[in-house]
Structure 1
């Protein structure tokens, strides 16, 4: 945080986990399904028709993984279009978790080369075919948890810097950091006496 020139969270800022907690990732199939769905939503944001999107979901057997707000957007274009576009950075973070990109730089935009490792929707590449092509190798849970902890603090620092009108350290803003944190929060599962069972994508709490 100091290296980036961002404000530090206050001493009473709550911890992401407690000593003794165990950490793991959601299953690879869950991570891949969420990545594919977010990629489809990006395609809907930029012109894919509802019929094409629905046909792909049905062929890929991913209908049940789409959340209610996502369903409204995919099928009828309802909802906050801008908020769905922002999921681009959540998608980037999930690709990092799956080992599809080398780094998640908090000062840089997402790697545009990722398009080549995501499902080729225009060619009709199904979810099953995509999984066979990429052969994902998810990162070690401890590594992902460490990056979650970093983004937990970055989220506060970016928001505080924007509130104060201070310069940001790179080319992205607090929205991008928040989206990356959202994806990491969802991907990491903590086991311990102070943690509830892992919730759904829409249940991720970014209020602290």
Structure 2
């Protein structure tokens, strides 16, 4: 579903008010908006988001000891091999790559679960709700991707709500990095890495359409430099 994006300035003001509520610094007045008036927004297809959740969950299983043969067997049985990015493929098959960076995807997965309505909240003060694992593919029990999709029945968020949360995380990412660089106390148990991962997932899942937007990026192409 493609809809007209909400007023970006009103959304930004709400994001800044949330920063105030959390006791976080506001970004400078030159901090860019995520979209422009008149742009359109949509979410990626539900099946694509579900596949990304399943792949990230499988990679986390590899991080915590799942043998590569078992991982590949599950991917083949679920017909998800082609959904892996080249770095993910190298890690799943041969354990090559930055193990720590893959572990951090725990929060990206949490963010995508919120997008599909599998998690009720995405509070920047709170870590991932461990009860979420019950709503993810039960890989160790042999539950396939299609079986999982039939069990959870995703109900995606409205694109405008997801876009508003993206704008908030755009601001949170800046604020958390500022606090950590200054050595100041964060407002909860979540650090800048986790906020960055949540933003990464939202940047990927929310598709922006307008004269200043490129085609939706691949998972590894998401730009978090600003």
Of the three residues 183, 190, 197, the one matched with 1:172 is 190
TM-score normalised by L of structure 1? 0.99
Could you say which residue in structure 2 is the equivalent of 1:99? 117
Q: Equivalent residue of 2:207, what SS?
A: strand
Of 65, 69, 77, the residue aligned with 2:95 is 77
What is the CA deviation profile of residues 19-57 of structure 1, one whole-angstrom value per residue up to 9, with x for unaligned ones? Answer: 110000000000000000000011000000000000000
2:49 maps to which residue?
31
Distance 1:164 1:47 in 2: 36
- For the pair 1:62 / 2:80, whether they are aligned, the reply is yes
Aligned to 1:48: 66
Match of 1:110 among 121, 128, 141: 128
Aligned positions of 1:156-167 closer than 5 A: 156-167=174-185
Query: What displacement does 1:199 show?
Result: 1.3
* 2:34 pairs with 1:16: yes
1:169 and 1:6 map into 2 onto residues whose CA distance is 8
For 1:86, what is the secondary structure of its paired residue? Answer: helix
- How far is the alpha carbon of 1:58 from its aligned partner? 0.4
1:191 corresponds in structure 2 to 209
- TM-superposition CA deviations, 1:112-135 (whole Å, max 9, x none): 001101000011100010000011
**Gap regions ≥5 residues in structure 2:** 1-18
Measured on the aligned residues, the alpha-carbon RMSD in Å equals 0.5
